[in-house]
Amino acid sequence: MSSPATPRPAILRPRASLSRSQLGAVSLASDHASATASPGRRRDFVFVVNPSGANGRTGKQWKQLLPLLRTRLADQCNICECITSGPSHAIDVTREAIKDGADAVIAVGGDGTLHEVVNGFFWKGSPIRALDRGPDHLTALGLIPLGTGSDFARTFGWSNDPHQAIDRIVRGVKSKLDIGMMEGPNGDPHFFINVADIHLSAKAGYFASMYKRFGNLCYVLGALRGFWGHTNRDLRIKVNGGEWRTVDKVTALCVGNAKYFGGGMKITPTVDPFSGDLQVVIIQDFKWCSFLLKLHRLYGGTHLTVNGVSSIRVQSIEVAEVVPNGDVFVQSDGEHFGFLPTRFSVLPAAVDFFS
């Protein structure tokens, strides 16, 4: 039986930054109504909200959370609300907020919203800085996980309880978080905070996006559809700038800055996002039946001892096809990036993160 042709989606690319007039309501002076003055400069916290996340639940929950935030933070900072309107909007508003001197940008939503906010911290491969706050001013990254998967939050054992997330933000404890960077054939840098992956898992992630209405089941449905017509591929890898070597019959190759992807699969189970390196897990010569039988090992993070699974720690890795066809999917944080070849590397301690 012949398999259907796999669609080739458009590559996600950040748009150019918007002007203040285009951003409209994203002024850093947007919420003084309930604030009580305190000594010294008030901090500006920008909350980037994806109202359509989790099939619209994120927008509803945010409306309930906003009064609590104002109560908890009113004596500390100005709360600046930004409701995103479509793909890449979170990237744009994050860049503008950092340029304007925001003290924190908090992603409110799932891994996709967090992914865009992280990319907003950079421009052409370099961190963005405030225009008039001096070289020592840094904007912190925060997260209120309200999405379908919230895989990044799982690395820290966080639930989707927004009250706990607000507690972390109010507490104000920050750690230096690593960020992953990837470069495709055109050399343009793109950033990921969680997991980037190649071939079957990336293709499954692309299809999973079509089944979001089924919640976390969308990841299993995406994987099953990804296996339709799937063939394992011989790939070349170059680790830390060394020599190229061939890896046969690759089913999936995953590059983790954090531990989970695909709605709770603990794919890179021993990585530490504060360690300064990435964990690469390579799955070789899996058939669809092997995937189903060993799915519980992927969710439990015990798959590293399974035959055909290997793991290495890297600061950088380049991946290419042995026989170039240009159809091996690449994704990062569940977002389609493009196709091989791709280079992955880590930016150690790149962002202050509310932990």
The residues that are catalytic are: 111
Burial of 145 (0-12, 13-18, 19+ CB in 10 A): buried
Decide: helix, strand or coil at residue 320: strand
Strand partners, 7: none
What is the DSSP secondary structure assignment for residue 137, as one 8-state letter? -
Tokens, residue 52? 């359509």
Residue type at 46? V
How far is the C-alpha of 309 from the C-alpha of 60, rounded, in Å?
42
What is the DSSP secondary structure assignment for residue 288, as one 8-state letter? H
Pairing mode of beta strands 329-332, 335-339: antiparallel
How many CB atoms sit inside 10 A of residue 5's CB? Answer: 8
How far is the C-alpha of 35 from the C-alpha of 70, rounded, in Å?
8
How many CB atoms sit inside 10 A of residue 66's CB? Answer: 16
User: Which residues does 292 contact at the CB level (< 8 Å), separation at least 6?
Assistant: none
Residue type at 76? Q
Strand partners, 180: 192, 346
Cα distances from 259 to residues 104, 185, 245, 298, 299, in angstroms, run 24, 27, 26, 11, 11
How far is the C-alpha of 84 from the C-alpha of 81, rounded, in Å?
10
Q: Evaluate the CA torsion angle 333, 335, 337, 340 in order and state its sign.
A: positive
